[in-house]
Structure 1
Amino acid sequence: MINEYKNIKVIGFDADDTLWVNETYFREAEEKIQRLLSDYETPNKIDQELFKMEMKNLPIYGYGVKAFILSMVEVALELSNYNISNKTIEAILNIGKDMLEKPVELLDGVEEVLSDLSKKYRLILATKGDLLDQERKLQKSGLTKYFHHIEVLSDKRERNYSNLLNHLDIKPTEFLMIGNSLKSDILPLVNIKAHAIHIPFHTTWVHEQVSKKETNGKIYKTIGSLKELINLLN
């Protein structure tokens, strides 16, 4: 084990795009609504307006598929000047329902890694989004047995993690977070003096992207896959 991780007692895992596929389904949904609204705007404009609506609604609805569905409906109403048909609204709702009913597709090596690390560390799941949806995905994943604690956070900022660590009764130096988002899973932990390992996913929501300036001077490790954790931490 690398010496910097010798004091780790608890390892936290992000869920979406760290343990299972998630963002891919949002990109597919965006393509579908672009086709549905093609009579009103270009795909690029629809994409821009949808993102703006998501950001506007974020403080009200939070994260997750249900919030995304509401933002899609609002964008459809606005871009059509409130002339959108009931049939199209129904089609948008069905896009969202389809997302919620997707099977859980685990990323490569997830169960192997959790099984191995759970023998030595306390593992927790620390994710954000809609509570019901995240509980559903966790249940479908079959991974519940590996986690000592499961936390669905309203957001992933320094204060959220500090509260979580206080609840777990551990010091930041005893905690390691694993995730795909630099903004949500890595930088907040670095800022409170905890450890973090970044495992990039092939697509990242614009809201989760950060600039080089934001990562400059921040100390964290980036690896290519979850499987690398076994050698890194054993």
Structure 2
Amino acid sequence: MYAKVFTSLWDGSLYGQLEASAVLMACVTLCNADGVLDMTHEAIAGRTGWPLEFIRKGIEQLEKADPRSRTPDEDGRRFVRLDEHRDWGWLIVNYGKYRELKDVDAVREQNRRRVRAFRQRKNGVTVGNADVTDVTRGNAPSRHTDTDTDTEANKKKTSLSKRKKPSAPFPPDLTLDDAMRQRVFKQFPDADTEAMFEQFRDHHLAHAKTSANWSASWGTWIANAGKFGYPKKPGGDLGWR
């Protein structure tokens, strides 16, 4: 298991707390995909090779409420115990938040690689006059005419123009604009457009969906909302269709 550690760890309210910051870095690699760290103090000490008292002090600091924390959940606590009857086993409170940031970075990197590969493929195709070589029909030498060459070049151009636009992952910088909001309002005036877009984004990121036209995909999502339901604005019927 590995985890991305953000430099902001040393710039916030854990600044100067060696045990807490070190233990937090270790535990984000030891927990599961949901941020659950179901291990004893002794097990963590054994896995890291750090003194048991060092581990205990770090976890004690991470369990404390911190009003200065960037994440206000659980009163700023970084660790919350899974069960009240035992002194070990925790949920890392903001693990999911930073895991999502990691996923967005991964998608952004995939986008860069996909665009780079597409450009390389595009630049590698040469459309123009093909090499013309002598051919022999019987004993009489002859050449392809310029018309023949132009025809072949035109065929290549036509073939390239018919190629489909490659699919790409969900763009991390895609946000709601007025045109996208208007498309929702025309069909579902009572819809919570922000919440609908969040569902659209989260679904495609979670399932690693790709699309050659994300504007068209948004239109399809809206069209299906009448069948599968959509979030409504507060103040009206708060249920789902």
TM class, shorter-chain normalised? under 0.3
Which structure is richer in relative contact order (CA contacts within 8 A, separation 6 or more)? 1
> What TM-score results when the alignment is normalised by the length of structure 1?
0.22
Q: Kindly name which structure, 1 or 2, has the bigger radius of gyration based on alpha carbons.
A: 2
* Higher fraction of strand: 1
